Structure 1
């Protein structure tokens, strides 16, 4: 039985055609989106809640009938009660109520609560995972991860509150008012006045509580982000003896959270106190009205008992609703904050007619490309009207001071950003018109800031080609000279060698070891276009010289773009391109550029000539 209900919603159902890549941009749209994802169980939950509310209204009514039946039997002296009254009471209490409650619990717990949180987190993860690179550069990664988790909890809480708890309160109130109006309008008068007073209280406190809840959610995510930021950079914290400063930084976020929570709790305390007073007035007024009507023969003792029972139930429900409103405000505040943080339109998208990139030779044409970071007064042009043609199989070395635009040009080639003007073509195909996955599958990249996943060495190397065999992986590791240290690795769970985990971002390995794993990963990927961005900067001279031989084999038949500040590592490239302030200012072989006496010659003269022992008079 449980399994049937648990499988009514698939939290991982395919997303193709279900939603756009751009997430909903308001909390109401995101709620509507997930309501659509949930489907019929919400309607069933609402229907069962309606039945439960009707049963809860019928129970005090049946109690009133029972009291009247007992009173009548006592008055007549025969001490016999109509069996139908007892039967109705027992059926409501022992059959209808447990059965409907069980069905409601199954839908609430097994269908909705079990799956909705996971469904929301999965969908939110899909939105975030496809976000532009600037999205991750402008926020704490820990804060983003917290938002993904909080969104699932917030929407699950909202659906539970609306489809179950708050809906039950509203339906019960409507049922009670309807019954009292039928019995006598005066019976309903205290409850109607109470409802107006309760609505005024809630409408007064809701806006303030919503703002306070939003502030609480924001401070919680900031606290999480600061924790992750400090923990991720623990070595920097220790090297600069900054533990005390980090404590103060984290404490500031906690103090802001305490202040924000304090504001929210003050509001809830004030609302609870006022509600206690209003509830007391409701109970007193209902009792007095009942006695008054009884004295005029317009009500029976059973009627008074029913009204008192309903009124006491309303008092309990109002307190329950107040607690639910606290959760509601918190969930709405979390959702508001999530929408502001996560629901940003995706800028880098595939066109509807995008086709896979077909690499025939690997020729690259960069045609009058311009690109800048920032907007308005903060705008900074990183690539300025740059044109460069790279022949299929040609090896290009990009040279220039830091900030010249070399890495930006590589990012544009990978379409991590869209161009402002111009075009980049690979074998005649505009990269803006091909699918991003096919583009990046055709380019192998090794960067200076090598980041590994907290998984095994095997998983990290095979990340370049998951379907590769272990033999192919071992061959790539040997070519990258990573097999020299991998057998000696042991993690904290006793896993060794290729099964050992590397820690977050690969912190358990040295910079050189991480770079060798990254090189092995690219060697295994074996893409037709190769980008080396300071690929051997963390290696010692002997290892670098050995790996250069492997890279030389890898480069054969491939189009290569290599960036290096250590000019000796790229001096033998087919052509060197010197950049400055986003423009190409020099181009030629190593010997030609040294002879020219320009920027490249100046850079070369400041270095020793590296380990290649190149004669400046020898053509490169």
Structure 2
């Protein structure tokens, strides 16, 4: 992805600097943590100087009082170091959890604002791993890794500088012997960075695999494919394990060098110190103090391996989080929004074209120059063969996707000129595959009514009316009634129950325009008839576009629009279209058979008038029933004639 490549091109300091706006409110706490951590390190560096004074002074002279003061000084410095470490943790821990909260909240808000097209491309597991794992890692690095890296590098530099205090030759030997650490660290960054990114991406893929298998557990069990799913998971987990092992080898290698180099430096310094002492250029106390200080510097040097790997992991996590932050929000409020002065509920499609951004040049638009106007208060059924673009069309009025050409208008105003809040408050959508949230029935149905107090009498009235329209009275028989938690995605309910609650949700929102994508497909015939009877009361005063896959759904419409290959080819009443449209007769015949018509290639000749079967199909025509043709019937008898 482009965002990924742009993040990878940033240098490590510039990449991590992108966290500054989030960490800025806690900057004084970070500085305080750095200061007390540095004071703790300075306290540890002073101890060797005190020890040198004790060895060369009181121990040689036998001054017990001075020895006691020396011991007290070392004890005091040790206590001070421990206190500073405690204060460092106290200063940064709480502010960094607030920084983590801010990043996580901003990340979630960004996910809500990004268009549906973004979520179509991204795996949910990748987003989940960024939200939880990567942001948590960033917080731990800001809390511990950043401060300790700065402090330990400064401690090492200050300590090496103090080593020159006793003798320039000792300091020079120690410094030269320490240079390989920086060379190894640079090479480590180059290798470990790629491994860290690969590991975190694989973790996201593994999270996606787990999520998909949990959501699809019924399918896996029904087809007996649990073993196959386990094999696929094992392969992905093994791949992640291999990457983690490669990372561990790299970390182990750098730890080896960071452990070895200080010992080599100490060995070289010991030899040099003995020579200098034998020449009378160094006292025993100075040699003792030098090695005590070198030992104090050794820990910061050893920790660089861990801190460098932590730094690179944090940089990778930052890149992954900012890939989402950098994703373009293509569907947003206009700079100068308009409003509908006189809401009437007219919905119009003006020469609408739509194609996905990754569509190839030779592919036709999914919606290809479509024109359609729904009059205020009118119910229009949309019928068409599979792949004609019906479901795609239902996503355009609320700007789940933006048209690539033409315009969708609400009461004469282009929907792109309205704020998303106003637009989606005035147009309600119910999808064929209903999604419920892990919340109570009440919260799910009143999702679109932020203006109501969920526990107030008005909310209770709206809730009960919506449930009545959707024939969802079954909720009162649930263990806790309308306060029953429906579980993740509502899977504790049947498909028909979920569909009725989704319909109740859109009815409760009270929009001016309803867009329904086959909202009754999971209902049995008797329940469907009851829902349709109640729904007619709502449709009497509401503009509605209904994707119809059943003849009974068509019967609710004032007019019917026939869609072929992304265009509306005929509009009229049910009876008019039966008389004038061969393709409509074929579609109605398919709906009566209980299945949606397959897509018919435009290059194939049109069926002859009166033939309700597709071209070159020898299937006999349905027998006429005993009902007379009317606006509320399926028109079988008329088709037969």
Alignment TM-score, normalising by the size of structure 1: 0.88
Q: Could you say which residue in structure 2 is the equivalent of 1:205?
A: 188
**Structure 1 residue 143 displacement after superposition:** 2.8
Q: Deviations over 1:505-542 (max 9, x none)?
A: 11111111111111221221111111111011111111
Shift, 1:585, TM fit: 0.8
Q: Residue 462 of structure 2 corresponds to which residue in structure 1?
A: 472
Q: Does residue 93 in structure 1 map to residue 78 in structure 2?
A: yes
Comparing 188-197 with 543-552, greater Cα deviation is found at 188-197
Cα offsets for 1:374-423 (capped at 9, x unmatched): 23358541111122222221221111112211121121111011221111
Alignment match, 2:577? 593
- The alpha-carbon deviation at position 198 of structure 1 amounts to 0.4
Residue from 288, 292, 307 that aligns with 1:305: 288
After superposition, the Cα gap between the structure-2 partners of 1:360 and 1:303, relative to the gap in structure 1 and judged at 3 Å, is same
Pair 1:295–1:513, CA change in 2 (3 A):
same
C-alpha distance in structure 2 between counterparts of 1:538 and 1:562, whole Å? 15
1:145 and 2:134 matched: no
Cα 1:25–1:428 shift into 2, 3 Å: farther
The aligned counterpart of 2:366 is: 382
SS of the residue aligned with 1:384?
strand
1:242 corresponds to: 225
Q: Report the secondary structure of 2:515's partner residue.
A: strand
Cα distance 1:170–1:614, how it changes in 2: closer, same or farther (>3 A)? farther
Partner of 1:268: 251
SS at match of 2:56: helix
Match of 1:488 in 2: 477
For the residues of structure 2 that align with 1:597 and 1:128, how far apart are their CA atoms? 45
Once the two structures are TM-superposed, the CA of residue 359 in structure 1 deviates from its matched residue by 5.9
1:297: Cα distance to partner? 3.4
Change beyond 3 A, Cα 1:89–1:501: same
Structure 2 stretches of 5 or more lacking a match? Answer: 8-14, 453-457, 595-624, 634-641
Corresponding residue of 1:48? 36
Give RMSD over aligned pairs.
Answer: 2.6
In the alignment, is the contact (CA less than 8 A) between 2:29 and 2:95 conserved in 1? yes
Give the TM-score, by structure 2 length: 0.86
- Is it true that 1:616 corresponds to 2:629 in the alignment? yes
Aligned match for 1:372, one of 352, 355, 359 = 355
CA distance in 2, matches of 1:50, 1:239: 62
For residues 174 and 348 of structure 1, what CA distance do their matches in structure 2 show? 52
Q: Is the 8 Å Cα contact of residues 40 and 82 (structure 2) preserved in structure 1?
A: no
CA contact (8 A) 2:138 2:317 kept: no
Q: Does 1:394 align with 2:382?
A: no
The Cα of 1:258 is off from its aligned counterpart by 1.1
Instruction: Give CA deviations for 1:219-260 in whole Å, capped at 9, x if unaligned.
Output: 111111101011101111112211111001111110101111
Separation in 1, partners of 2:588, 2:64: 114
CA positional deviation for 1:85: 4.9
CA contact (8 A) 1:574 1:589 kept: yes
Alpha-carbon distance in structure 2 between the residues aligned to 1:184 and 1:358: 86
Matching of residues 147-546 of structure 1 within 5 Å: 147-340=130-323, 343-355=326-338, 360-373=343-356, 374-377=358-361, 379-466=363-450, 467=452, 468-483=458-473, 485-490=474-479, 496-546=480-530
* Partner Cα separation in structure 1 for residue 244 and residue 342 of structure 2: 57
* Correspondence 1:106 to 2:90: yes
Equivalent residue number for residue 47 of structure 2: 59
Q: Does 1:36 align with 2:21?
A: no
- Report SS of the residue matched to 1:200: helix
Residue 156 of structure 1: SS of its match in structure 2?
A: helix
| Deviation (angstroms), 1:454 | 1.5
| SS of corresponding position for 2:247 | helix
**Which deviates further from its counterpart, 240-249 or 349-358?**
349-358
Whole-angstrom CA distance in 1 between matches of 2:416 and 2:6: 25
How many positions carry a matched residue from both structures?
A: 587
Distance 1:359 1:221 in 2: 49
